[in-house]
Amino acid sequence: MALYSDKVMDHFQNPRNVGKIDDADGIGEVGNAKCGDIMRMYIKVKDGIITDCKFNTFGCGSAIATSSMATELIKGKSVEDALKLSNQAVVEALDGLPAHKIHCSVLAEEAVRAAVKDYYDKNGIAYNAEEFQIHDCEHCSE
């Protein structure tokens, strides 16, 4: 069995939605000092729907693949639905990740959440701060 699924390899070699949105409605940046991965996620929102999203990721192939998949999963969705994106949903959409790379999917989830939080902050939209807690991934030290 291959270490990475065909979908992981495809999203690593042909990432979707790479780039920057200059007039983004929300920008989220997350990173992990233990593994060195840094993700920046940009979202454009119209009438509560994410009409565009892009990312820049500095990290391993799994970090790039999870960022790419996360943008695909939230594009066209409501902001509220984007907040429901879980790292497990990203892993499943990629047909799995090795255990020691699960932290990449956690970072992708957190980047989406950070972009939504920035959107809420910029627009004065009230939210529950507990929804935006950062996860301390035990896999990140591996």
Biggest CA pair distance of the chain: 49
Is residue 60 annotated as a catalytic residue, yes or no?
no
CA 131 to chain centre: 15
Catalytic: which of 53, 104, 137, 140? 104
How far CA 138 is from CA of 35, 86, 123, 132, 141, in Å, comes to 11, 17, 34, 18, 6
Is residue 35 annotated as a catalytic residue, yes or no?
yes
For the annotated catalytic residues, the residue numbers are 35, 104
